[in-house]
Structure 1
Amino acid sequence: MFLTILNYNRGYRVMLSQALCKTSRSYTTLQLFYLMKKKGFVHSVCSYTALIYGFCREGMQDNVFQWLDFMQNNGCKPNVITYMIIVKFLFDNGKFKEAMNFVSKMERERCNPDLLTYNVILRELFHRDRLDDISELIQVMDQKGLSPDSYSYAALCGGLLKIGKVGDACELLLDIFSNGAADVAVYNIYFQCLCQENKSREALSQLKRKMKVGFKPNNVSYNTMLSGFCKEKKY
């Protein structure tokens, strides 16, 4: 099978590596990786990043850093996606300091974090209730010309909600809505804010109003409403 795969063009080979890693078959990918190298194919940053992603998914920390070193020793420079995958992996495993060290390493190597990387950091800072660091990070994003997207807003408002600052979250959400930069995930957080303040009827009214102008709720929207009404015992 692998010999047939090697006859495909480079794009197909990279896509296959990514698919195998996403299905927790990193060692199969590794076999393909070595076979391709033996056949004379030069691996790109995409190949290495796909393999590192697979090891992260399977929690193989030693393999992650071993292959990062191997990648660099072979003259292949990690890109922002490579680093972002590792940073998120470290955050998910409770290794905040190590993750932030990698962010600093990115900047030293002039591999500037992108908006997605900052969103991952932003979410982690909220989980740790580090409000001063959040404020500083937002200023850094602004200085670099990175405008928050829906994921950023969801991370910001969801973080405020998680640490009990419901009023602040609602205020920020209303500002976001006035700028027209919200998607269903951001509106779901707003509905959750209202329900937490025992305003389930208002949340439902807002949902109906939005649906009349094309808003498409999802399961989270409806479950938030149900949970709010059950909490208030308004069946």
Structure 2
Amino acid sequence: MLDGLCKSGLVQEAMKLFGLMREKGSIPEVVVYTAVVEAFCKACKLDDAVRIFKKMQGNGVIPNAFSYWLLIQGLCKGGRLDDAVAFCVEMFEAGHSPNAMTFVGLVDEVCNAKGVEEAEKLVRSFQDRNFAIDEKSIREHLDKKGPFSPVIWEVIFGKKKSGRPF
């Protein structure tokens, strides 16, 4: 319902419904906030999505990994890569790691928009934050959700391996 209201441009109505959901308290607040963030992302109202996400944090509700994933994906799709990277860093600092889809998607978007060198810097910055690249899940994601450019494989994994692109 929130999604439909946001997509229809009925932001005020969506916010009223959001407030009502919070008042009822039958759903954990992180779930309610995350639903609103998702609805705004789907409606391409990214400023509102970020505002609600920050409001969630300001109200003492701790985002979970799924909350971050939705916001990061929405920001990537909306071309707001700097914000997506910033929230990914925040995700690390909150003790969460991006899943393969989030990681590959962000690297792919940065590579396409800013070039290979920036994507390589991003991967190195994740590694500097002790993000252990789960090679198996990332390879599976690249294989199943591709085709991804061989450049993405190289940016993530480095050197080529014989018999496979990387």
**Structure number with larger C-alpha Rg:** 1
1:139-218 alignment, distance < 5 Å: 140=127, 143-147=132-136, 148-153=138-143, 157-160=147-150, 175=164
Does residue 1:130 correspond to 2:125, yes or no? no
Shift of 1:120: 1.4
1:170-201: CA deviations, max 9, x gaps? Answer: x98x627xxxxxxxxxxxxxxxxxxxxxxxxx
Confirm or deny that 1:96 pairs with 2:81. Answer: yes
Instruction: Let me know the Cα RMSD of the aligned residues.
Output: 3.6
How far apart are residue 37 of structure 1 and its match?
A: 3.0
Q: Are the counterparts in 2 of residues 55 and 63 from structure 1 also a CA contact under 8 Å?
A: yes
Q: Structure 1 161/120 Cα, relative in aligned 2: closer, same or farther at 3 Å?
A: closer
For residues 118 and 16 of structure 2, the distance between their equivalents in structure 1, rounded to whole angstroms, comes to 46
Q: Distance in 1 between matches of 2:110 and 2:144?
A: 13
Measure the CA separation in 1 of the matches of 2:107 and 2:48.
27
TM-score of the aligned structures, taking structure 1 as reference length: 0.50
Q: Report what 2:45 is aligned to.
A: 60
The DSSP-based 3-state class of the residue aligned with 2:31 is helix
Q: What's the offset of the Cα at 1:88?
A: 2.3
In structure 1, list runs of 5 or more residues that go unmatched.
Answer: 1-16, 163-170, 177-235
Distance 2:15 2:102 in 1: 26
Gaps of 5+ in 2: 153-159
| TM superposition shift of 1:132 | 6.7
Q: For 1:109-150, what per-residue CA distance to the aligned partner results, in whole angstroms no more than 9, with x for missing partners?
A: 212222221121122133233157349739949834352244
1:31 maps to 2:20: no
In structure 2, what is the equivalent of residue 21 of structure 1? Answer: 3
SS in 2 for 1:143: coil
Q: How many residues align?
A: 150
For normalisation by structure 2, the TM-score amounts to: 0.67
Deviations 1:91-125 (A, max 9, x none): 22332222211111111121222222112112213
Distance 1:131 1:154 in 2: 25
1: CA distance, partners of 2:39 / 2:149: 28
Q: Percent identity at matched positions? A: 19
The 8 Å contact of residues 57 and 63 in structure 2, kept in 1 or not, is answered as yes
- Is the 2:22–2:29 Cα contact (8 Å) retained in structure 1? no
d(CA) in 1 for partners of 2:82, 2:28:
31
Amino acid at match of 2:91: M
User: Cα 1:97–1:34, aligned 2, differ >3 Å: closer, same or farther?
Assistant: closer
Provide, for residues 42-97 of structure 1, a one-character-per-residue CA deviation record: whole Å limited to 9, x for no partner. Answer: 54322211110111111222311221122112221112222222222222233222
For 1:136 and 1:66, how far apart are their aligned partners in 2? 25
Distance 2:151 2:88 in 1: 26
